[in-house]
Amino acid sequence: MNPTTNNSISYAVNTQISVEQFIDVLTRSTLAERRLVEDLECIRGMLEHSNLLVCAWDDQRLIGVARSVTDFHYACYLSDLAVDEAYQRRGIGRRLIEETRKQLGPRCKIRLIAAPGAGEFYERIGFERSSRCWELE
């Protein structure tokens, strides 16, 4: 799909990225602290088996990613939202979520587990906190 441009930042849906590019943007966003970036097989699987990937680019440099698993109609799990720290607070995270929403049906809800310290960001852009999430290790 062709990128859409916002100033010098462009956005693209389902553009293939490499494991190295993904790890790099996770690291530059600090999300790598909570991901198994040393396990290349895991990272490769994360990329290969997610079915919605929205990327933000500054020229040829990947600066943001919204990686999701979805049925496109009922539920979308936003697994990773990562924006390079040097580019944060410019609306890129919000735009990555907006571009994700454009790919989903009108009744599809986005769900996520927020990184520590990110709750205020999600509340500010319209997400509601849910007490109904459960995890099984």
Which residues are within 8 A (CB) of 33 and not within 5 positions of it... i.e. 6 or more apart? Answer: none
More confident of the two residues 132 and 101:
101
pLDDT at 1: 39
Any idea where the domains of the chain sit in the sequence? Answer: 4-124
How confident is residue 137, by pLDDT bands cut at 50, 70 and 90? Answer: confident
pLDDT at 41: 95
Mean pLDDT of the chain: 91
Examine the pLDDT at 107 and tell me if it is beyond 50.
yes
DSSP annotation string for the chain: ---EEETTEEEEES----HHHHHHHHHHHTGGGGS-TT-HHHHHHHHHH-SEEEEEEETTEEEEEEEEEE-SSSEEEEEEEEE-GGGTTSSHHHHHHHHHHHTS-TTPEEE--PPTT-HHHHHHTT----S------
What average pLDDT does this structure show over 59-68? 96
Q: How far apart are CA 133 and CA 97, in angstroms?
A: 20
pLDDT at 53: 98
Report pTM: 0.89
CATH class of 4-124: alpha beta
What average pLDDT does this structure show over 76-104? 96
> Half-sphere exposure of 127 toward its Cβ, with a 13 Å CA cutoff?
20
pLDDT at 7: 63
